[in-house]
Amino acid sequence: MGSNSLYGPLDPAPDAGYPDAPPRMGFFTDTSVCIGCKACEVACKEWNAIPEDGFNLLGQSYDNTGGLTANSWRHVAFIEQPGSSAAGSSAAQTAMVASTTQPQTGTAPGIPPAIDALAAAGTAGPQFLGMPQSDLPGRTADAPRTDFRWLMMSNVCKHCTHAGCLDVCPTGALFRSEFGTVVVQEDICNGCGYCIPACPYGVIDRREEDGRAWKCTLCYDRIGDGLTPACAQACPTQSIQYGELDELRTRAAARVESLQAQGESSARLYGHSEDDGVGGDGAFFLLLDEPEVYGLPPDPVVTTKDLPDMWKRAGLAALVMAASVAVSFLGRRP
Partner 1 sequence: MAEAHPVGFQWVVEAKNRGAKVIHVDPRFTRTSALAHTYVPVRAGADIAFLGGIVNYILSNEKDFREYVLAYTNASSIVSDDFQDTEDLDGLFSGFNDETKAYDESSWMYAGHEEHGRGHGDSHTDRETASAQQHESHGAPLPADVRRDPTLQDPRCVYQILKRHYRRYTPEVVEQLCGVPADKFLEVCEAWTANSGRERTTALVYSVGWTQHSVGVQYIRTGAIIQLLLGNMGRPGGGVLALRGHASIQGSTDIPTLFNLLPGYLPMPHHEKHETFDQWIDDIRHPGQKGFWANAEAYAVSLLKAYFGEGATAENHWGYDWLPRLTGDHGTYRQALDMIDGKIKGYFLLGQNPAVGSAHGRAQRLGMANLDWLVVRDLYMIESATFWKNGPEVATGEITPETCRTEVFLFPAASHAEKEGTFTQTQRLLQWREKAVEPPGDARSDLWFFYHLGKRIRARLASSILKRDQPIKNLTWEYGGYEPSGEAVLQEINGFDLTTGKPLSSFNEMKADGTTSGGCWIYTGVFADGVNQAARRKPGNEQNWVAPEWGWAWPANRRTLYNRASADPDGNPWSERKAYVWWDAGKGEWTGADVPDFEKKKPPSYRPPEGASGVDAISGDDAFIMQGDGKGWLFVPSGLIDGPMPTHYEPAESIVRNPLYGQQANPTRKVYDRTDNLTNPSPPQKHSEVFPYVFSTSRLTEHHTAGGMSRQLAYLSELQPEMFVEVSPALAAERGLEHLGWAHIVTARAAIEAKVLVTERLTPLRLEGRIIHQIWLPYHWGSEGLVTGDSANDLIGITLDPNVLIQESKVGTCDIQPGRRPTGKPLLAYVAEYQRRAGLLPGKDADGQQ
Contacting residues toward partner 1, per CB under 8 A: 33, 35-39, 41-42, 45-46, 52-57, 59, 61-62, 64-65, 80, 82, 86, 89-92, 94-96, 98-99, 101, 129-131, 147-152, 236-238
Q: Which is nearer to partner 1, 55 or 329 (CB)?
A: 55
Q: How far is the CB of 233 from partner 1 (least distance, A)?
A: 13
d(CA 178, CA 20): 9
Distance between CA atoms of residues 168 and 118, nearest Å: 24
**What is d(CA 272, CA 238) in angstroms, rounded to the nearest whole number?**
18
Alpha-carbon distance of 64 to 67, in angstroms, equals 9
Q: Are 174 and 180 contacting, i.e. CB atoms less than 8 angstroms apart?
A: no
Q: Residues 94, 96, 98, 99: what is their CA dihedral angle, to the nearest 10 degrees? A: 180
CB 65 within 8 A of CB 42: no
Q: Report how far residue 71's alpha carbon sits from residue 215's, in angstroms, rounded to the nearest whole number.
A: 8
Indicate the SS3 state at residue 7: coil
For the CB of residue 134, give the shortest distance to partner 1 in the complex, in Å.
11
Q: Nearest distance from residue 100's CB to partner 1, in Å?
A: 9
- Report the residue number, 178 or 205, with the smaller CB distance to partner 1: 205
Residue 1 is classified by DSSP as: -
Residue among 76 and 278 whose Cβ is closer to partner 1 = 76
Between 100 and 324, CB nearer to partner 1: 100
Specify which residues 175 forms β-bridges with.
183
Nearer to partner 1, 212 or 255 (CB): 255
Q: Which is nearer to partner 1, 152 or 165 (CB)?
A: 152
**Min. distance of Cβ 164 from partner 1 in angstroms?**
29
Sign of dihedral through CA atoms 115, 299, 123, 28? negative
To the nearest whole angstrom, how small is the minimum distance from the Cβ of residue 202 to partner 1?
A: 20
Of residues 216, 178, 171, the one with CA closest to residue 192: 171
Closest separation in Å from C-beta 51 to partner 1: 8
* Smallest separation, CB 39 to partner 1 (Å): 7
> Please, which residue, 84 or 185, has the CB nearer to partner 1?
84
